[in-house]
A = this chain, B = another copy of it.
Amino acid sequence: MPANNPTACLLVIGNEVLSGRTRDANIQFLATGLGNLGIPLREVRIIPDVRETIVDTVNEVRRTFDYVFTTGGIGPTHDDITSECVAAAFGVPWEHHPVAWPRMEAAYKPGEFNTARQRMATMPRGATLIENDISVAPGFQLENVYVMAGVPRIMQSMFTWLAPRLQGGAKIEMRAVHVFGLPEGVLAEGLEAVQARHPDLDIGSYPFYRTGSHGVTLVAKGPDAAAADRAIAEVTELIAGFGKVPIPGEPPELSAGEGPEE
């Protein structure tokens, strides 16, 4: 992985993924979007709606990574505590936001901008807004921490607004080739040699399973597209050397995960 690209950490805040009630729908979108900006996602943490956990985690990761993105916990209900926890993490007051408050007040009918909704216009002092096309409630940025909604389509709208405003690095290029019927354990030695020849790339090996057929996808990743192309050409040759047919790109309908084979 390139040493000079800025790094990112994502905090998914909320009990509903940890309880298994919902399957996360935001990680892959943000991982891909950040990779395209040359801001590789280096860690994801899924944490519960617990004040101490959120405060401590925000403080740990904002010092470790260039960018921290959070999703979830900025709605109007009692379990939405991300915003006040970010204020506590930075040691700043949690107060009426000078832009968000009047805007949200104007968006509701008289009397409907109640205490619960006012929470969504209350932010850490110094926060700047992250806009979106769907909800009147914005996200916000404080230093290197970007606080976004958990509802996927609102989060996506916020990230789309945010993307051109982030300072990225060289885009992470990804090239792949796959093969059926050739076990990882046979490819491993040659693959390690390809990795050794391309120390600036990440060479990954991902077995997949289909009804009636197994295979493996080999991926080369890094900021240098030409190097990734060369590495995949070497892997392609390696596969052909075992008398199998290398197929460019990812297999259709990828099943997730990596692990032991056979």
Contact = CB atoms under 8 A, between A and B. Distances in A.
A224 to B, nearest CB: 16
Interface in A19-39: 19-35
A228 interface: no
Copies held by the complex: 2
A1 interface: yes
B42 A44 contact: no
A248 interface: no
A206 B16 contact: yes
A258 interface: yes
A86 to B, nearest CB: 15
Contacts of A203: 78-79
A129 to B, nearest CB: 13
A202 B151 contact: no
Contact of A75 (B45, B49, B260): B260
Contact of A152 (B23, B29, B76, B255): B255
Interface of A: 1, 12, 14-35, 40-49, 53, 71-80, 112, 114-117, 120, 135-137, 149-155, 172, 174, 184-189, 191-192, 195, 202-207, 209, 219, 221, 250, 254-262
A53 B61 CA distance: 13
Select the residue from A22, A185, A195, A258 with max chain B CB neighbours within 10 A: A258
Given A72-B257, A117-B185, A191 B18 contact: no
A201 to B, nearest CB: 11
A257 B189 contact: no
Given A15-B221, A20-B32, A26 B149 contact: no
Select the residue from A72, A120, A209, A259 with max chain B CB neighbours within 10 A: A259
27 contacts: A15-B221, A16-B219, A17-B28, A17-B44, A17-B256, A18-B31, A19-B32, A19-B40, A20-B33, A20-B41, A21-B174, A22-B28, A25-B257, A27-B46, A44-B45, A71-B257, A75-B207, A76-B188, A78-B205, A79-B202, A79-B204, A79-B258, A112-B185, A116-B188, A116-B189, A135-B261, A155-B259
